[in-house]
Chains A and B, each alone.
Chain A
Amino acid sequence: MKAPLERLGWSNNDAKVYYNPRHQVLRHLQSSRACAKSRTTPARFVDEEEKKRENSLVTHDLFEQVARESKTKATFNKVIEVFIKRDIRRRGHVEFIYAALKKMPEFGVERDLVVYNKLLDVFPKEVFVPRNFIQRMFNHYPRQQECGVQLLEQMENYGIMPNVETKVLLVQIFGEKGHPVRKYQRIMYWFPKFKHINPFPIPQQLPEDPVDLARFSLTRIANDLDAKVTVYQLPYTDMTESGEELTLPHIVGIQSPSQMELLAKHNLNRPVFVEGPFPLWLRKTCVHYYVLRADPKPPEEQVEEPYDPERCFDYPLQLELDFDRDLGDNEDFDVEDLDEGPVYAMCMTSQGDQATLNQWIAGLQQNNPVLGQVPALFRLEPGPRELQGAAESVSGHSSRPHPDSHVENAQSGEDAEVILEEEARRSHGMKQ
């Protein structure tokens, strides 16, 4: 009896095998024939009612049908409810879950544990639990288990930790020792271990306001608690007399006392450089910053400064003890130091052209009078600026489009400093 059934292909669509096949052999035979028939006709010729009844392609359409007008969590839940109510046997639920997993980012519910639990609830309960040791030994209902593992893996990839409800559901569906339950246990073991290991944590929701975002990222990269953030210019839109709309970019800078000290000691004959933009990634958003720096001092200018004994009263900063120190006490790495020149200040702005950065330098000059006497050269790389614009438009606030060639042309007629800048850029290019 069994062999001809197989030849007819009843195990063809195994998602339909829910209950013990012993009792329902005949029914499956019938349904599978219908299924095989509908399979042969291409999907686009099948009319709507037939599609709704049988084909596994329905699941994709279900999302399009139910959630046609808006894609939110509510409509996603509605789709799941529609699916659950449609068929008491939950026919094609594996396909439905795969489709739902794929659609989750579209509906914006990929980080929602409740939705995952609800999706897991679609699985029929206690059907896939192995009942004897042979079933337990072999992979019992592998497709369903694979699907459950896939769901948990998507949770894992989005960093969602399952809860007790998930576990109860999984145990009900797949039994105590099924693969999905194992996967759950693995997640519960490893996730808490690595939850807080990032030494530079980033909040899940980055601040929306560009100034706040700039403040956050500047304090992150400055790595100095004494560093002070200064907002040189807030973004605002202004109307000029001729009716043009003028958008002023935000300029946020950071400078620490030690950087000010370094800048005060800067040799007046040597220029300082404004470099950038350099990328900084905060999870999935990329911001760019600019750096005010100088070239490293040539070896003849480097002076070893003696420690000021009054700098710290609690303990001496320098010890002149003549112990027998040998190789075993040497804790420094044997590498030559990299000298890249000091960094004097950093800033972030939405518009990285020379005029804006000049404004930043002018603002810095209030606290650092040296900058008035030192020539400042701009080494701005054009490359990532378009990227920055793209990243910003993604993150929500738009920046005024500014083609680089236009900016450079506008500046080329101004004064002799530009020539210097060009030279600087060329030498910079040669150095690379």
Chain B
Amino acid sequence: MSLLKITHHPPLRLLGCIHQPLFPFITPFTVPSRTLIQSGYRRPGKPREDQFPWQKIKFDLSKGLQGIKNHFTLLKNEFLGRWVGPEGKPILEHMLEQNRVVWEFRGPESLQNWTVSSDEEIGGQSRVYLKLGKNDNTCFLYGTLGSSPPKDGLTRYSGYCTMRSKQLLASFDRKKHHDWSSFNTLHLRIRGDGRPWMVNITAETYFSHQKDDIYSYFLYTRGGPYWQDVKIPFSKFFLTHRGRIQDDQHPLWLDKINTIGFTLGDKADGPFQLEIDYIGVCKDYAHTEDFAYEVYKRNPEV
């Protein structure tokens, strides 16, 4: 009899009923459910979006004309740049390049390459703004950090502010990547207020489950009126996925870099500021390390 009963249950229920409550609406549900397919973040309590992807596209004639103009300009530059040399530079310059300034902030249009976000999106209290510095020569990231989590019953931690570069796009919205494979060090010129930041680099990945893989390292600021030159070797970056350090570490592959980002989340509530002069990459011959963490065995071992 009991066997018959059991076979009537769907198998998932059978496993679940051992540990999970039968009345999930009455008892508090402390174990967060994990989905197999990773979708983007949806705020707890927000309804699921019930729209087809093509319903979100805005069709507009002027937008289309502007798009055609932009895309064909990009396409032309691509063709002509190839004629000059790789990545639009002469071959000698490309081969002998020791360092490259990737992002610098000169004028308001340079801020177009960046997006800022904070935990406001998940209902938190942080605010972040981006503007040009005093002489229109730097980027000034400021705001306030508030680390009390939103009261939705699910979110446990909150309090982050972040700034991230936009994905490079070639003509017709094809993805373009930064190729830093001839460099080994990230060079930043910054001026902070003493708070620790985190530098996040995302690289192009092949499988969709890797799309949230981020390589991170810490950026400590001194504070004070003086600028600070920071060199971070790429070998020090460690692999994280959705905010968790991974057991299987892997060196960052520099041939297809998508974005770089800066995150603040040091749980110290209050105003913050970070001024960036430029972000570059350079070749440091004194640095020979490939990867700073063990790759020959998993930690913890299985």
Residues of chain A having any CB pair with chain B under 8 Å: 1-3, 6, 9, 11-14, 39, 98, 138-139, 141-143, 146, 157, 181-182, 185-186, 189-190, 193-194, 197-200, 217, 220-223, 278-284, 286, 289, 291, 293, 326-336, 338, 340, 343, 346, 384, 387, 391, 431-432
Contact = CB atoms under 8 A, between A and B. Distances in A.
A149 to B, nearest CB: 11
11 contacts: A2-B6, A13-B27, A142-B19, A185-B300, A197-B218, A197-B220, A280-B223, A281-B195, A328-B96, A333-B278, A346-B225
B90 to A, nearest CB: 10
Given A185-B300, A281-B270, A387-B271, 12 more contacts: A2-B5, A3-B2, A12-B27, A139-B19, A142-B31, A143-B30, A220-B223, A221-B194, A328-B98, A329-B98, A335-B280, A346-B224
Nearest to B270: A286
B289 interface: no
B245 A278 contact: no
B101 A335 contact: yes
B96 A327 contact: yes
Contacts of B26: 39
Contact of A333 (B2, B93, B101, B135): B101
A186 B247 contact: yes
Given A3-B2, A281-B223, A331-B282, A9 B23 contact: yes
Contacts of B282: 331, 333
Contacts of B218: 194, 197-198
A221 B300 contact: no
Contact of B271 (A6, A327, A384): A384
B271 A279 contact: yes
Nearest to A327: B96
Contacts of B222: 200, 220-221, 223
Contacts of A194: 218
A346 B226 CA distance: 11
B293 to A, nearest CB: 7
Given A146-B30, A190-B245, A198 B96 contact: no
Q: Across the A-B interface, give the 10 residue pairs with the lowest CB-CB distance, nearest first.
A: A221-B224, A185-B300, A328-B96, A327-B96, A281-B194, A3-B5, A280-B223, A284-B268, A189-B299, A281-B195
Nearest to A223: B226
B162 interface: no
Contacts of A432: 134
Given A200-B222, A223-B226, A289-B224, A279 B104 contact: no
B255 interface: no
A190 B225 CA distance: 33
B177 to A, nearest CB: 22
A143 B134 contact: no
Contacts of A2: 2, 5-6
Interface in B1-25: 2, 5-6, 15, 17-23
B99 A6 contact: no
B268 A281 contact: yes
A163 to B, nearest CB: 17
Contacts of A223: 222, 224, 226
A55 to B, nearest CB: 13
Interface in B75-122: 92-93, 96-99, 101, 104, 106
B213 interface: no
Nearest to B284: A331
Contacts of A326: 96
Contacts of B221: 200
A278 B300 contact: no
B194 A280 contact: yes
